Structure 1
């Protein structure tokens, strides 16, 4: 029979594993934050800071917030995980339309490892392109130190940026495997939250100096709390489809009919569509910005107008960003959740939806419910992502956390807490099962 001492030792062992994962996560975040302060060789940091001061409120400020200040300091981690996210988008799209990749996806763990390998190669290729574009734009604006040979400057700067992007990809995968939560999301979360204390202090300083009315500051705080509450409620929202298990008999044992439910979240895609839409929108805007500043004449004017039109607060940004979020909500949900496969699994398990025939009819019913939920979920994500930006433009409300970053922070925190609770529950369950097995063994031995 298990004793309380054995239970305590099991719980301590389980808590030790959880604490080890938490320590690894904190160590990874510390290394990431340390890396954002290592500058790219050959680039003048003072001129970079002046450029960001001139472009406050544009997409560069948003990109700098996502990178945790790495862009403003032109760190070796300035590219961050955006190349990896872009590569993941491309690979997931290709897996949905390419038969060979779709077959790899169905092979299980070996197929997923092969797709991950392709994603890494594509990440390096995209990082090379983005690093070269960035370095060319900086060199064209005269932000490199004088006296450096152009070839050596390009080689060193591009190599540093690509190495930083590959390191971020590796670090994110390590956090996913050995830490808690999705590694990429946790690194983005760390970059956003890193600037939050400074933004709060700046807001209070503005209120103290009279630039911001205290009532307006209180209203901003209440609005932020209300948005967070709304996001939490929507993320926890579910549509539960009733599932009925038929009465069955196994040998002499008869099992009565049971009722369960199939939960479908309002937002099945999570925060991934917002991250995808942001990365795709920032890429052409950044290229237009860099080449627009580096070139001259009519081409420069056109590129600068494109960058300005795609910047935060512009109507084109609202339209394109909202459309991309809605599109990726449907695409990602369709890739991650297959109603046909769910219906087949229910049929094999002897389960059915009351009033719906098993098989294709059940798949159509689940697909219809999922489509309606995705419509609501995509509109909710687009509204939350654009609302703070709209308030900043229409009412000049100084939100530090835009809708995109706010969604990422709230969803990542919720996912982190749920995974911590899952670890705690799984270790408690293991302790209970060990106790039950020992008790059964003891009873059998006394017979």
Structure 2
């Protein structure tokens, strides 16, 4: 990794792209500390201290503390992520969107424009809900129409600006812009989390006990990171053989290839979907001021709140982990069924004269791909669940309240690996150009 970056900085074009990304990251971190005018910046800090709802903690981790400070980037690029997921799901239900998706570059530009509009709409809706829901509780210092408009405009503009930054990184930098914004926000919280772990488990202990605890914490983090690396890179390669055919006076074809199916086919999407759905009732209760609901309503909110799982004083709420696992597996299958179509893959292979050795083209190929896909999706979903549940276990059993978890770790690892791959490919292309010029 460090060698790749060192070699990349020797190339002017790549160095300029990397420095551009670094400059944008500085802008993002500066904006995350710039408070919205007319608000009490300590409101959410006190709110998090007195509220164990994991819904806003999850959002705060994705905004790099911008939500805690209630900065102009408090919404971060979560509206864009939600918008992208919604548009992707709607391509199944709306034929016009499906046609745009297949219509090459022009179609993709139209879908991108629609995604932008939906992003601004979602950011506007979320900012209005926050301004009204928390304004009267002390968030806005003077609850007037002008102050509410300022808060709504600041949050919406901040989210739209981050969306623009992500697109600029795509065009002028390296890596995926939106993923890079998420990455820097998550990384910015990790030093604070390690300081919390140090104060909670190591500070005040003897040298021997403190060293053992520090080694144990590092071993757990390292083990989970290695597991995420394996899960992110694991794939099942299905061999494909292309038959020879006459083209003019030449015999072409006959090459061997493969279809790489990633074990973690859906990425981190199932965890994001599941966390969003399970945290939604808690968010609504917080907006309505019903955080201390009694009866069955309180029990349901307690079960859905991951902050209560694996609590030794109340193991009943840990039943929510069952629903969590079921939803992760469901969304893993659901999202993969949207992004990977075995029938389309089989048809494309057949048109190009390709076949899987030992499997007849057509329906048998589709059935074979489905059976392989169902098997690896389950393995990927199981791996995702393990990565996500480990932080819940330690947070509940040992009260290790940190913002980064399985979701954050998967995002960090996958974004870094993809960015390094892009840098390596850019260096490779440049080397080929230099060879041809010589």
TM-score tier by shorter-chain length is: 0.7 to 0.9
Partner of 1:152: 146
* 1:47 alignment partner, one of 31, 43, 47: 43
Asked whether 1:327 is paired with 2:368, we answer no
Alignment-derived partner of residue 66 in structure 2: 70
Q: What does residue 387 of structure 1 align with?
A: 390
Q: 1:271-286, aligned counterparts within 5 Å?
A: 271-286=268-283
Q: Does the CA contact (< 8 Å) of 1:141 and 1:293 recur in 2?
A: no
Where in structure 1 are there 5+ consecutive unaligned residues? Answer: 1-10, 436-447
Q: Which residue is equivalent to 2:203?
A: 208
* TM-score between the two structures when normalised by the length of structure 2: 0.87
What is the aligned partner in structure 2 of residue 191 from structure 1?
A: 185
Are 2:239 and 2:259, in contact at CA under 8 Å, matched by a contact in 1?
yes
Identify which of 106, 109, 113 aligns with 1:113. Answer: 109
Which residue in 1 is equivalent to 2:216? 219
For these two proteins, the number of residue pairs brought into alignment is 420
Task: Tell me how far 1:307 sits from its aligned partner.
Answer: 5.2
Task: Answer yes or no: is 1:424 the counterpart of 2:420.
Answer: no
Query: By how many angstroms is 1:12 displaced?
Result: 9.4
Instruction: Give the structure 2 partner of residue 236 of structure 1.
Output: 233
Summarize the alignment of residues 83-162 of structure 1 with structure 2, pairs less than 5 Å apart: 83-145=79-141, 148=142, 150-162=144-156
The alignment partner of 2:289 has SS state of helix
CA 1:185 to 1:305, structure 2 compared with 1: closer, same or farther past 3 Å? farther
Provide Cα deviations, 1:250-271, integer angstroms capped at 9, x if missing partner.
4454458433322211112222
TM-score (norm 1): 0.85
Local SS of the residue matching 1:80: coil
Q: Which moved more, 1:397-406 or 1:171-180?
A: 397-406
Is the 8 Å Cα contact of residues 169 and 177 (structure 2) preserved in structure 1? yes
Residues 173-218 of structure 1: CA distance to partner in whole angstroms, max 9, x if unpaired? 2222322222221111111110212222343344132398432221
Q: 2:307 aligns with which of 309, 313, 316?
A: 313
Which position in structure 2 is the counterpart of 1:352?
355
Larger mean Cα displacement after TM superposition, 54-63 or 228-237:
54-63
Match of 2:371 in 1: 368
Separation in 1, partners of 2:252, 2:160: 54
What SS does the corresponding residue of 2:237 show, helix, strand or coil?
Answer: strand
Alpha-carbon distance change, 388 to 46 in structure 1, aligned in 2, over 3 angstroms:
closer
Q: 1:270 aligns with which of 261, 267, 272?
A: 267
**8 A contact 1:245–1:259 mirrored in 2:** yes
Structure 2 match to 1:259 = 256
Decide which moves more: 338-347 or 323-332: 323-332
Tell me the alpha carbon deviations over residues 325-352 of structure 1, each in whole angstroms, 9 at most, x when there is no partner: 3233223222222222222222222221
CA distance in 1, matches of 2:96, 2:328: 28
Q: CA RMSD in A?
A: 2.8
Residues 291, 303 of structure 1: 8 Å contact kept: no
Residue range with higher mean Cα deviation, 11-20 or 240-249: 11-20
C-alpha distance in 1, partners of 2:93/2:344?
18
Change (3 A) 1:434 1:347: farther
User: Does the aligned pair in 2 maintain the 1:239–1:263 contact within 8 Å?
Assistant: yes
Q: Could you say if the C-alpha distance between residues 400 and 157 of structure 1 is closer, same or farther in structure 2, counting changes exceeding 3 Å? A: closer
Matched, 1:19 2:15: yes
Instruction: Give the Cα separation in 1 of the matches to 2:98 and 2:403.
Output: 41
Number of the residue aligned with 2:311: none
Change (3 A) 1:48 1:246: closer
Unpaired runs of 5+ in structure 2?
Answer: 1-6, 309-317
| Equivalent position of 2:409 in the other structure | 406
- Looking at CA atoms only, which structure, 1 or 2, has the larger radius of gyration? 1
Cα 1:22–1:280 shift into 2, 3 Å: farther
Please state whether the residue corresponding to 2:307 is helix, strand or coil.
coil
Moved more, 340-349 or 74-83: 340-349
Partner SS state of residue 329, structure 1? helix
- CA-CA distance at 1:309 after TM superposition: 4.2
Find the counterpart in structure 2 of residue 441 from structure 1. none
